[in-house]
Structure 1
Amino acid sequence: MSVRTLWRRRPWIALALLGVPVLAAVLGPLLGPLLGPLAGQDQGALPSQPPGAGHPLGTDVLGRDVLRLVLHGGGSVLGGALGALLVGLAVGTPLGLLASGPRRGLDETVMRGMDLLLAFPGLLVLMTLAALGHREWYWLVTVAGLLQVPAVARLVRGAALAPGTRTVVEALRMQGHGWAYIHLRHLARELAAPLATDAAGRFSVVLYLLASANFLGLGLPASSPDWAVLIERNSDALFVQPAAVLVPAGLLTALCVGGNLLVDRALARHRSSA
């Protein structure tokens, strides 16, 4: 039995992988203050100390408690990825619906614009943004979301142009129904399943892009407790204080793997029931 098959048959493994980083991101800011202030070096703590009394996960290169940083760092990871995903869906969905309309010229205009945006490598765009001085969190999230628009628009257009969908749409038009009824009632139901499935998988793509940007120093400041920033800041001390790198790296990996396994399971159940 393969590992993927085992995990599909044991959904609690995927739920545990996804649940641990999500709970750390959601509940961490509430538990973190119980351990003390976040900013600055802990009093009497040395940089890059291994786990010990007073510091269950040791300290980072600045002498800060790693456990406290990890509990505070998941919010920017989860919030940034969800925010960028919402931007991509909010912009890409109406563009895909426009392209699927009866006007051929509008379809060509929208799709060629999507092809142009798709040609730009994501990290190169973020590097250019950082070089222009736009390193704020909202810039990073917005641009990462806009980079997902071409894929979302193509998915929506393809689903809306499916033969079965087009037949029903033409029938509704002949019956005199307007654009709002067709798109907001009929097509919304048809697109809900593929969009939800794609969004679950796209979350990992957005997470990888944002984590790579923060790891390369293109996004959040070096003092941020963001998990990707912690990995970059403590990478030189990996063999001295591995927990400062492996713990945030493990949480990022669990978030991606857990999400992908749940998507695989949902797709398998959908195919078996179809």
Structure 2
Amino acid sequence: MSGRDGGVGRAAATPARRTRGRHPWVALLLLAVPVCAAVVGPWVAGDTAPGAGALPSQPPGAGHPLGTDVLGRDVLALVLHGGASVLASALGALLIGAAAGVPLGLLAAGPRRGVDEAVMRTLDILLAFPGLLVLLTLAATGHRDPYWLVAVAGLLQVPAVARLVRGAALAPGTRTAVEALRMQGHGWAYIHLRHLARQLAAPLATDLAGRFAVVLYLLASANFLGLGLPDSSPDWAVLIERNSDALFTQPAAVLAPAGLLTALCVGGNLLVDRALRRRRVREPAQQRGSR
């Protein structure tokens, strides 16, 4: 009976393993298309200026594989030029959020209760402000440059990142290991840069992968409101907003940049989930091997 059950379990597990095995290729494809368009696109794309005699919102045809936008510009050239700003701004905001949130989270997880309260209550105040309200206030003061937009979008991610790091660092298993390392005489750098960094890598990577979509949404919303890039920018978010009124007459001008943004978010999340799943499977095997 147990042999049959084991055979059935192995047979049932084989399709599941095969299905999971295909995920990396799907994720790589989803991620590679927008990333290649963002990195290589500006080097191979043509001019984004309207051509002579080009009509606005024309469907795909000869000379314009994806048609033209509301200004008569070639949509394919715009899409190839617009990914660089999307990728750079989103990654820049995530980098700012992680660079500020991780040290604050580790500081709050330290042994001093007063420091923990001061850091977390200050971050709670920032967490209470809606992101778009902060960006609108920033624009009202005359700070409409993309650099301000990226910096503020990154700072808005700091409270959530700091809370995640603090919670992971204060987990019972982590705290026990930290106390043991301190009793063994290891210093701050060894504990934080080696042990804690390894423990926090998985939850932080998962959070940043999901937060990438949040940052993209925030930056796109700001561009919709005219707070960041100008209306003539080829940025994918700006293209969606700029051509939304012509969705039914020239859908490629909206669906092409929207599809690339979606593929960028989904592909990144699938790759991170796959990497973390493989790590969870590999660690128990390594522990059994060490025994």
What is the TM-score when the length of structure 1 is the normalising length?
A: 0.91
Structure-2 separation of matches of 1:23 and 1:129 = 33
> Identity rate of aligned residues, in percent?
81
Instruction: Please point out which of 240, 246, 249 is paired with 1:240.
Output: 249
Instruction: Please point out which of 127, 137, 141 is paired with 2:150.
Output: 141
How much has 1:164 moved relative to structure 2? Answer: 1.9
Matching residue of 1:111: 120
Q: Kindly report which structure 2 residues correspond to 1:85-124, keeping only aligned pairs within 5 A, or say none.
A: 85-124=94-133
> Contact 1:18/1:254 (CA < 8 Å) preserved in 2?
yes
Q: 1:207-246: per-residue Cα shift (whole Å, max 9, x none)? A: 1211222123221110100001001111111122111111
How much has 1:146 moved relative to structure 2? Answer: 0.6
Matching residue of 1:28: 41
Q: 1:20-40: per-residue Cα shift (whole Å, max 9, x none)? A: 1111111101111xx2x22x3
Figure out how many residues of one structure are paired with residues of the other and give that number. 267
How much has 1:7 moved relative to structure 2? Answer: 7.0
User: Is 1:62 aligned with 2:71?
Assistant: yes
Q: Kindly report which structure 2 residues correspond to 1:208-247, keeping only aligned pairs within 5 A, or say none.
A: 208-247=217-256
Structure-2 separation of matches of 1:167 and 1:264 = 27
How much has 1:266 moved relative to structure 2? Answer: 3.3
Matching residue of 2:56: 47
Structure-2 separation of matches of 1:212 and 1:186 = 39
How much has 1:139 moved relative to structure 2? Answer: 0.7
Deviates more, 1:112-121 or 1:169-178: 169-178
Structure-2 separation of matches of 1:207 and 1:192 = 22
Q: Kindly report which structure 2 residues correspond to 1:258-269, keeping only aligned pairs within 5 A, or say none.
A: 258-269=267-278
5+ residue gaps in structure 2? 1-16, 285-291
> Contact 2:205/2:272 (CA < 8 Å) preserved in 1?
no
**Greater Rg by CA:** 2
What is the TM-score when the length of structure 2 is the normalising length?
A: 0.86
Matching residue of 2:27: 14
Q: Secondary structure at the match of 1:93?
A: helix
How much has 1:8 moved relative to structure 2? Answer: 4.3
Deviates more, 1:176-185 or 1:247-256: 176-185
Structure 1 234/111 Cα, relative in aligned 2: closer, same or farther at 3 Å?
same
User: Is 1:172 aligned with 2:185?
Assistant: no
Structure-2 separation of matches of 1:14 and 1:66 = 25
How much has 1:150 moved relative to structure 2? Answer: 0.7
Structure-2 separation of matches of 1:186 and 1:247 = 44
> Contact 1:7/1:14 (CA < 8 Å) preserved in 2?
no
